[in-house]
Amino acid sequence: MHDKLAIHGGTQVRDALFPAHVTVADDEMAAVSKVIESGILSNYLGAYHENFMGGETVRECETRWAERFGAKHALAVNSNTSGLIAAMGAIGVQPGDEVIVTAYSMSASAVAPLFYGATPIFADVEPDMFCLDPASIEAVITERTKAIIVVDLFGQPFNVKAIRALAQKHDLKIIEDAAQAPGIQIDGEYAGLLGDIGIFSLNYHKHIHSGEGGIILTNDDDLAQRLSLIRNHAEAVVEPMGVTDLTNMLGFNFRMTEIEAAIAIHQLEKLDGLLQERWDRVSYFEQKMAGFPGFSLPVVRENATHAYYQHACLWDVSSGIQRNAFVDAVKAELPVFELREKEGVKLGAGYVRPIYMLPTFQHRISIGGAHDPLKSSWQDYSKGLCPVVEDLHHNTLIAHEFIVPSMAESDIDDVVRAFEKVWDLRTQL
């Protein structure tokens, strides 16, 4: 039927763009107009004042998010990255401390401790679920370890039982980067509330977004107060607020605007529907790909749901075909998404480089100077540090976003046809 792969000049399986995935509509537009009409686009004051905690819309947004997840506190910030940094400050991370991080995530999940002069210590991930491996964490705990930053990678919740047990045994805090996992549960508990502090991202690429933004959840009153101080110029208000522990009470401006908060309120209402649409597309794709010889489909942790930020499959290396060549050939058969043309075909060989391969770690220069926390780290950032991450990244992981809600079944059929075509013609690779 097909005689030539598109990568060799054959006809593409499809050239018409995939439909844009857009989650904002008239309701967000109306909410934003209302804020603009009010004339107040942000109503924070970095001083001891009732507006220290933000304007009306920010506070309403926080109430809605807290209620939705059954959290005691939700704090709106301007990004998940800010939330991670604030979390490090709130739990009292300081120079000399070590914080265990994953080598496989967006870089912010690993570098946050450095802003407080602490050292990130890398642990490896589970080969099938891609979250931090409890045994690998245990192997790098020292008397300096203060916390673990866990990531619900691709929307899979981390190994809660085992990692909580480790945290309890060694008196460590758990900070959960739930950027990719809003709305999923394990054993009836929501991602975002599985550790001491959890953080969602509302950047444009996430399940729901407000342009930029982040929501921090915690059930701990003291941590919530410290987070709110770090968010908004702590040093200026500790005195009138009667804060006595001044450690890390230097504040940033991590404030979310009223406009973003108005959008985030409406986006939250859409979360469940958008997750269900993803689940429908995943089940359609998986049913069509069942028995495909090239790779295995994602597994979901026991008693958990998965948010499928990306649908992460594992390439079967025993096929003898090189993964990158296969992925490049499939990409050549498929179009990009409307609105995101410049990002290329949403199919990846690997995910991101092991974080310790970034120049910051390779050169041990982060906050700079002879006392840089990376200069004294006992960890060796050479190849082999986290073998599972390296193998996933270089050889076996194939992740795609063809499960976003804008994809119709007929669009997914084209994706399946592309995988099948390249497999059938694999001798041309």
Ligand X SMILES: *Cc1c(COP(=O)(O)O)cnc(C)c1O
**Beta partners for 173?**
147
Candidate residues 5, 86, 90, 106; the one interacting with ligand X per rule CB under 6 A: 106
Candidate residues 42, 43, 80, 310; the one interacting with ligand X per rule CB under 6 A: 80
Q: What is the DSSP string of 344-361?
A: --SEEESSS--GGGSHHH
Closest contact distance (angstroms) between CB of 348 and ligand X is: 14
Let me know: does 69 contact 219? Beta carbons within 8 Å. Answer: no
**Beta partners for 148?**
100, 174
Tell me, residue by residue from 210 to 239, as one string, x for binding to ligand X by CB under 6 A and - for no binding. ----x-------------------------
Closest contact distance (angstroms) between CB of 200 and ligand X is: 8
User: What does the DSSP 8-state code read for residue 314?
Assistant: E
Helical axes 26-38 vs 258-289, angle rounded to 10°? 170
What size, in residues, is the chain? 429
> What single-letter amino acid sits at 44?
Y
* By CB under 6 A, residue 330 contacts ligand X: no
Distance, in Å, from the CA atom of 247 to the CA atom of 117, rounded to the nearest integer, reads 13
Which of 179, 181, 224 has its CA nearest to residue 202?
Answer: 179
Residue with smaller CB distance to ligand X, 105 or 218: 105
Site stretch for ligand X (CB under 6 A), options 3-11, 159-167, 175-183, 401-409: 175-183
288: helix, strand or coil: helix
The per-residue b/e assignment along 419-428, b for 16 or more CB within 10 angstroms, e otherwise, is bbbbbebbee
Candidate residues 201, 267, 310, 360; the one interacting with ligand X per rule CB under 6 A: 201
Site stretch for ligand X (CB under 6 A), options 36-44, 45-53, 104-112, 350-358: 104-112
Candidate residues 203, 219, 322, 395; the one interacting with ligand X per rule CB under 6 A: 203
Site stretch for ligand X (CB under 6 A), options 40-48, 58-66, 76-84, 369-377: 76-84
User: What does the DSSP 8-state code read for residue 255?
Assistant: P
* By CB under 6 A, residue 180 contacts ligand X: yes
* By CB under 6 A, residue 366 contacts ligand X: no
Closest contact distance (angstroms) between CB of 265 and ligand X is: 17
Distance, in Å, from the CA atom of 70 to the CA atom of 260, rounded to the nearest integer, reads 22
Give the footprint of ligand X on this chain (CB under 6 A): 79-81, 105-106, 108-109, 151, 177, 179-180, 201, 203, 214
